[in-house]
Every structure is written in C-alpha cells, then in structure tokens.
Amino acid sequence: MGYASTVNLSVDERHRLAQAEEVRIETTSPTGIVHRTIIWIVVDGEDVFVRSVNGEGARWYREAVARPDVAFDVGGRRIASRVVAAADPESVGRCSAALKGKYAADPALRLMLRPHTLPTTLRVLASA
C-alpha cells in the first residue's frame, strides 16, 4: 500500500469513530462490488487503527489492501478514508493498547490480540 495520503482524519471524524462501538467498513472487490462489514475501530491520539480479527484471510482486509480507498459508516455518516499498512511494532502496540482500553469488557477482545492478527493492523487516513 502506498502513502499517497498521510493526512489524519479530522478531529470530528476521529471523535465519531472513537465513540462508535462498531463501524461498517466499505470496501470494493476487484470486480467493483462494494461490500460492507462490521468491524472494530480505535483511535489513539491523532491516529485511527483497524485490525482484522480473522487475519489476512478476511475479505474486507484483502479488499482494503488491494484497494485502499475505503469508507466508514458511523451513525449514518459516511467517512471516506484511505488505509495504509501499520504492522510496525509501534503501531501494532498502540493499536493493541487502544483495543484493550476500548473493548476491555468484551470477551472477543482476546481474538483481536492473537499473533496472526497483528500484521493486519491498518492506519486510517483522510482520503487522498
């Protein structure tokens, strides 16, 4: 994935995403079919992260890597975005800590922290 856009989402967009328990990510298949999948999202400072609970095999993740222009539906508002790989140790650690903070009471949290999910950490940026 390229870094065509390195601009973070706006303060308002980050706030909306931070408050949302779940969001729908909108991705596009290689044939142009749009898919919407419910996922978790976290905000750490000015950075927004997502991670695939199902690892690299998840359709939404594969589509986002192939076509990084995505969108998030949060509370009926569409936030056009771009995702970039964030599998470096610092980003993975920040995402994991944010997931632990936001979803501490959810028994599914442990699934998001399994070793095979860590390389699927993506940073969410403003659309290019």
CATH number reported for the structural domain that contains residue 39 in this entry: 2.30.110.10
- Give a yes or no: residue 1 inside a domain: no
- Give a yes or no: residue 2 inside a domain: no
Quick check: 2 and 65 in contact, CB under 8 A?
A: no
Count up the domains in the chain and report the number. Answer: 1
Give the dihedral of Cα atoms 34, 37, 41, 46; nearest 10 deg. Answer: 0
- Give a yes or no: residue 6 inside a domain: no
Query: Rounded to an integer, what distance in angstroms lies between the CA atom of residue 102 and that of residue 20?
Result: 10
Checking if the pLDDT of 13 tops 80, the result is yes
If one counts every other C-beta atom within 10 angstroms of the C-beta of residue 42, the result is 23
Range of the domain at 73: 11-126
- Give a yes or no: residue 82 inside a domain: yes
Collapsing DSSP to helix, strand or coil, 72 comes out as: strand
- Give a yes or no: residue 3 inside a domain: no
Query: Rounded to an integer, what distance in angstroms lies between the CA atom of residue 20 and that of residue 32?
Result: 28
Q: Higher-confidence residue: 75 or 112?
A: 112
Tens of pLDDT, residues 64-102? 999 999 999 998 999 999 999 999 999 999 999 999 999
Burial class (CB in 10 A: 0-12, 13-18, 19+), 10: exposed
Q: What is the pTM of this model?
A: 0.94
- Give a yes or no: residue 5 inside a domain: no
